Homo-oligomer: A and B are copies of this chain.
Amino acid sequence: MDKCEQCIIRQFNSLKALTRDELVRISDCKTFKTIKKGEVLFEEGQRIDGVYCIKKGVCKLSKISDNGRDQIVHLVKRGDLLGERSLINNEVSNLKATALNEMQVCFIPKVEIINDLKKNPNFTMDVLKNMALSLKASDNVIVDMAQKTVKQRLALMLLYLEEKFQFRENGSLNIYLSREDVASIIGTATESAIRLLAEFKKKELINLKGKEIFLLNKTSLKQISEGL
């Protein structure tokens, strides 16, 4: 396990604002963990008491609705921090975190982070900035969920996946999602997601090979997402 002060991952998140001394201190008390695909990092309602720094892999953050369906609210990947919000408000987690593939994470206990928040204004400011960005993104998602059709949201999601995860060597999106997960992201029934994916494929906007998705016509996808 790397030492934090030598780990490049921190460049992708707020930990980059910490001083060398602070990193050394954190390095000494952090724990390392491997999570298998499908395993749950933490449950909705669980006390986390710390922050996860994602070293490898992707997980979904979801919340179960009254109707029993899981809604995926965020996808979190390498470089992202997880659990800051619950930590800041001293609350149990509002969301459930499930690994979408094999993950490697470092866990930093709460006291350490709180300590840094109190003493290093650069760190606090960076956390604040990221939170403000997340808030803007969330507002935009609310608008899309409320105003766009399922078809528009699927097109939007495909473009978002490319932006966030890029492509594999063969040109497919660099993330595997089950049809159920796709439905959970755009907020629809699994059958509807499957049907629309098939429709997109038929129209040659995308190609599907198992869980691999290829974007063939991004211009059209963009237009569909905008309702044109």
Contact = CB atoms under 8 A, between A and B. Distances in A.
Nearest to A117: B125
Which DSSP category, helix, strand, loop or mixed, fits chain A's interface? Answer: helix
A138 interface: yes
A71 interface: yes
Contact of A187 (B117, B145, B226): B145
A73 interface: yes
A84 B132 contact: yes
A118 interface: yes
Given A65-B148, A227-B67, A88 B142 contact: no
A78 interface: no
B94 A226 contact: no
Nearest to A93: B136
Interface residues of A, number: 46
A155 to B, nearest CB: 11
Contact of A133 (B89, B121, B132): B89
B121 A73 contact: no
Contacts of A147: 65-67, 69, 71, 187
Contact of A227 (B66, B131, B146): B66
Contacts of A85: 132, 135-136
A144 interface: yes
